[in-house]
Amino acid sequence: MLVFWKERLVFLAVPKTGTSAYARALGPHASMVVNDPPELKHAPVYRYNRFFRPMFEKAGAEDMEVMAVIREPISWLGSWYRYRQRPFLEGKPTSTAGISFDAFVAAYLQGEKPAFANIGAQSKFVEPRPNGTEVTHFFRYEEQGRIIGFLEERLGLTLDLPRENVSPRRDIALDPGLEAKLRRKCSDEFDLWERIGG
């Protein structure tokens, strides 16, 4: 999570949406960079609302805006799948080594998810709170030009974005029947992504 105090902007770090690269590029310009622990680095709206918002408001920032990047759902699952193929996870319950992408997605759709497919949901990450705390600026991961343009204008800088945390390449073609099931069971994910594009 990145906080730009003077610009009244909080950049939430939705996992697997390129936020590590933005943190690297924008860290020197941010008032606060939350890198650790992961529960705070990747604080969803509900955690931001509970811990950070009250602190900011007490310090005089009642008008903070919140931005988040959302990735196309199949691509987002593919990024998690590829990330968990990395050698450093081998032998751990979260590893996807030796598991096909179809098997990974099928496991993700289970009620009781195995560790390797237990990755949450983007729609839950950005779910608005009853008190009105919500994401005010949504961007699609696939539209990097819009994200960069917004940040450059808002922060008054030129952004040179490095490639960070890039997962190994893998085939992430889904069985059509499984894709239909994913779109049905995770319609909130696809609806959110479509809404941002609209």
Q: What is the pLDDT along the chain (198 residues), one digit of tens a residue?
A: 999 999 999 999 999 999 999 999 999 999 999 998 888 999 999 999 999 999 999 999 888 999 999 999 999 999 999 999 999 999 999 999 999 999 999 999 999 999 999 999 999 999 999 999 999 999 999 999 999 999 999 999 999 887 655 555 667 789 999 999 999 999 999 999 999 986
pLDDT at 76: 97
pLDDT at 170: 63
Distance CA 26, CA 16 (A): 17
CATH fold group of domain 2-197: Rossmann fold (3.40.50)
| Other Cβ atoms closer than 10 A to 193 | 23
User: What pTM was computed for the model?
Assistant: 0.92
- Residue 40, CA distances (Å) to 1, 124, 137, 138 in order: 8, 16, 20, 20
